């Protein structure tokens, strides 16, 4: 057997070190320059996660409708099936009712929807759930991944945020879930806005006027009667309309509430709107949605954000 000389050993060791350094550089480079959409049709691919069947629609329903209207591919994922989200009904029948509601909402918005069969109120940031999220992002070939922040009043919202954060780097690592090919380009991960102040408040990097699609968004939310017209988990008998006139009144009340939420986002983040629309146009924006870049995915510059949110022409 031929013996390696000390010189050969040193050369091999140096080559290994260089290869390792190159691999580490590639793996940790989240600031790569702008990349093309991950599929060949030139359209963007967006996947949005929410804890319950209605969270994505509330947080990104407007932008989702705007992307979809331009031919981009948007998928909304509820990470639980919502089976305790009502004051009077629960279990399998409620899960099926809520699945139908988000399917109808998705038809209105022009998106795709999937509801994962995890129990509502019991979501945990397990390895199994992390793997499910990694596979969903990879299979959708996402350019943008949206989720709640991991500080939130609801444990399912928090753990949805954690699960997506935990997937943010792993989607590019080939030997986790190796049966679903790893992504070559790390997507951009973004958070919805919320009103929680501790440990840090929401600081959106981009705010989008949804005035052109606000009716569509309100229509999509209106079909989720179990959650809004009937009040969801904290509703009560008193909310239930007893006749057609009461129903009309209740529907209008729900629509006003949802519109107010998006008016609140526009007012609160008027300065962010100004950055993207200029002061004059921003002053005229009534309803908005806003999004914050997560530090763990690829970091886009302003030019790339404009390409990913093609709403500012
Ligand atoms: Zn929720």
Q: What percent of the chain has pLDDT over 90?
A: 86
What is the 154 CA–ligand 1 centroid distance (Å)? 7
CB atoms within 10 A of CB 302: 10
Residue 8 reports pLDDT greater than 70: no
Going from the Cα of 147 to the center of ligand 1, the distance in angstroms, rounded, reads 11
Q: How far is the CA of 85 from the centre of ligand 1 (A)?
A: 9
H or E element in which residue 63 lies: helix 55-69
For residue 40, the model assigns a pLDDT of 80
Domain chopping of the chain, boundaries = 36-206+290-308
**Using the 8-state DSSP alphabet, how is residue 121 labeled?**
T
pLDDT digits (tens, 9 = 90+) for 224-237: 999 999 999 999 99
CA distance 155 to 161: 10
CA of residue 91 to ligand 1 center, whole Å: 16
Predicted TM-score of the model (pTM): 0.88
**Residue 37 confidence (pLDDT):** 63
| C-alpha R_g of the chain | 22
- Asked if the peptide bond before residue 26 counts as cis, ω within 30 degrees of 0, the response is no
Separation of 51 CA from ligand 1 center, angstroms? 5
Q: How far is the CA of 50 from the centre of ligand 1 (A)?
A: 7
Identify which has the larger pLDDT, 21 or 63.
Answer: 63
Residue 52 pLDDT class (50, 70, 90 cuts): very high
pLDDT at 145 over 70: yes
CATH number assigned to the domain with residue range 36-206+290-308, chosen from the 4 options 3.40.50.970, 3.40.50.10320, 3.10.180.10, 3.40.1350.10: 3.40.50.10320
9 C-alpha to center of ligand 1: Å?
59
- What is the pLDDT of the chain when averaged over all its residues? 91
Distance 88 CA to ligand 1 centre (A): 18
- Residue 13 Cα to ligand 1 midpoint, Å, equals 53
Q: Which two tokens stand for residue 179?
A: 């049966």
Q: For residue 245, give both structure tokens.
A: 């006139």
């Amino acid at each position: 057997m031929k013996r390696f000389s000390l010189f050969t050993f040193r050369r091999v060791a140096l080559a290994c070190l260089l290869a390792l350094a190159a691999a580490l550089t590639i793996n940790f480079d989240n600031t790569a320059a702008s990349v093309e959409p991950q599929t060949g049709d030139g359209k963007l691919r967006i996947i949005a996660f929410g804890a319950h069947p209605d969270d994505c629609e509330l947080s990104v329903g407007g932008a989702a409708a705007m992307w979809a209207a331009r031919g981009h591919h948007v998928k909304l994922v509820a990470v639980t099936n919502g089976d305790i989200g009502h004051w009077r009904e629960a279990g399998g029948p409620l899960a099926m009712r809520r699945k139908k509601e988000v399917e109808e909402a998705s038809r209105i918005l022009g998106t795709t929807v999937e509801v994962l069969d995890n129990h509502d109120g019991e979501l945990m940031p397990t390895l199994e759930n992390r793997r499910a999220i990694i596979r969903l992002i990879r299979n959708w070939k996402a350019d943008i991944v949206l989720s709640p922040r991991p500080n939130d009043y609801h444990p399912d919202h928090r753990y949805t945020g954690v699960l997506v954060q935990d997937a943010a780097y792993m989607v590019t690592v080939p030997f986790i879930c190796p049966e679903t090919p790893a992504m070559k380009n790390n997507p951009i991960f973004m958070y919805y806005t919320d009103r929680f102040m501790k440990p840090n408040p929401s600081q959106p990097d981009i705010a989008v006027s949804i005035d052109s699609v606000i009716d569509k968004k309100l229509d999509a939310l209106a079909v989720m009667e179990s959650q809004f017209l009937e009040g969801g988990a904290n509703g009560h008998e008193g909310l239930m309309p007893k006749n057609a006139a009461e129903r009309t009144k209740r529907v209008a009340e729900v629509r006003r509430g949802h519109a107010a939420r998006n008016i609140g986002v526009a007012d609160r983040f008027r300065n962010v709107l100004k950055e993207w629309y200029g002061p004059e146009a921003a002053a005229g924006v009534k309803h908005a949605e806003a999004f914050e870049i997560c530090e763990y995915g690829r970091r886009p510059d302003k030019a790339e954000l404009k390409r990913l949110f093609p709403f500012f022409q």
